Structure 1
Amino acid sequence: MSSVTDAEAPSRARRLKAVSAAAHERVDTGVMQAAPFATPAKYADFLRFQYRLHRRVETLYADPALQPLLPNLADRSRLAALEADFGDLGLVPPEAPPGPALGRAEALGWLYVVEGSNMGAAILAKEAAKIGYSSEHGARHLAGHPEGRALHWRRFTAALDAAELTEDEERRIEAAATAAFNHVEALIGEELG
């Protein structure tokens, strides 16, 4: 019986994906069942949902302690694009407090979830286009990165995988990713349900 070597062990990003797969599926299903692109009014609900999530994590994107771990982290924030989307549509963003300060492992778990949502945003952007919104008007926050979504995600996961964490932090990052998905599910119920 051979033991698994470090080289054979799944990457941190792959472990997080496995741990959160069921929650991720529930979030995807919840969003699509809410039909946020059926009407402009439903899309406005979707924007509120997105804004509340991104407002909660905005402090993580600006956290100086995380910048060396995740290069260009501050540039990844989509909050300004969301604010522009609200302006495009003549809407006012909802009151949404920033999230609490998080430890390094917890912050990485939350960022994994929020950054991962940008991959799924490709489908959402196509749906938004059907009701007249684009990366230039109303759906800016769904736009892909100029270098491409997949490459942008791979760069994030490579940096995430390279971060040196203790065994305790490894457990905490998984718990944080689960907590982030649970929060997203709650927001779906509050804004899209």
Structure 2
Amino acid sequence: MNASTEKQLQNSLMLRLKQATAAEHDRMEQLMQQSQVFASEKNYAQFTLSQYYFQKDVEHLYQNPQVSALIPDLDIRGRSEAALQDLADLKLQPQQQVIVTDAIEYPQSLGWIYVSEGSTLGAAFLFKEAQAQFGFSADFAARNLAAYPEGRAVVWKRFKQAIDEAGFNDAEQELIIEGALQGFKRFGDLLADLHNLK
């Protein structure tokens, strides 16, 4: 590795985010296993409800003009509407209206969006499981797990590039990392309480 490549890696906010949230990422995997999402359609429906609430929290942050200026393709990224349609398929109606990100400001909000965008990669496995276990699809009960029309990797790469090329200073990067940890905590709380969600 030459000095220029090493400096690029050191300056990569996406790399910092990955390292800073590694333990949280592992914790999400453990919570997913514990919640036995694919043990029954009821469990899967509750998981879809958690996805819906988390996506509503994240999409609330899209309204910030600084967020939309940095990530111009936000219109394809939101998945709450897809999750809501999935819930209708699963005969489940969300009962909560609380948005927990009301007080989250830029650039902290980008950390929350990082968590959401990263989850689209892991959703590839979940989508296959939903197909295998229940016969669900991109048109019924698993819309929110389906890939973007142009593919998961392309859209993820575009997000990574936008974040890394934005030129955030150290203080801003710390706020974004803090936001990501908050986002992981929120989704972790939803998973931990999965069977009680309404």
TM-score normalised by structure 2 residue count? 0.89
Cα offset for 1:106? 0.6
Counterpart of 1:110 in structure 2 is 112
The answer to which of 100-109 and 77-86 deviates more is 100-109
Matched, 1:41 2:42: yes
Cα offset for 1:165? 1.9
Matched, 1:128 2:133: no
Instruction: Give the aligned length.
Output: 192
Q: Tell me the SS of whatever aligns to 2:182.
A: helix
Counterpart of 1:78 in structure 2 is 79
CA distance in 2, matches of 1:112, 1:88: 28
Counterpart of 2:164 in structure 1 is 161
Cα offset for 1:74? 2.9
Cα offset for 1:5? 6.6
CA distance in 1, matches of 2:59, 2:79: 9
Task: Report if the CA contact (8 A) 1:31-1:192 is conserved.
Answer: no
Counterpart of 1:59 in structure 2 is 60
- Pick closer, same or farther for the CA change 1:5–1:127 going to 2, 3 Å: closer
Q: Tell me the SS of whatever aligns to 2:163.
A: helix
Q: Structure 2, unaligned stretches of length 5 or more?
A: none
Structure number with higher helix proportion:
2
Q: Structure 1, unaligned stretches of length 5 or more?
A: none
- Pick closer, same or farther for the CA change 1:166–1:89 going to 2, 3 Å: same
- Pick closer, same or farther for the CA change 1:18–1:8 going to 2, 3 Å: closer
TM-score normalised by structure 1 residue count? 0.92
Percent of aligned pairs sharing the same letter: 37
Q: Please identify runs of 4+ aligned residues in structure 1 that moved more than 4 A.
A: none
| Root mean square deviation, CA, Å | 2.0
Counterpart of 1:94 in structure 2 is 95
Counterpart of 2:181 in structure 1 is 178
CA distance in 2, matches of 1:70, 1:16: 17
How far does the alpha carbon of each residue in 1:149-184 deviate from its partner, in whole angstroms, 9 at most, with x for none? 111111111111112323211111111111111121
- Pick closer, same or farther for the CA change 1:86–1:177 going to 2, 3 Å: same
Cα offset for 1:79? 0.7
Counterpart of 1:147 in structure 2 is 150
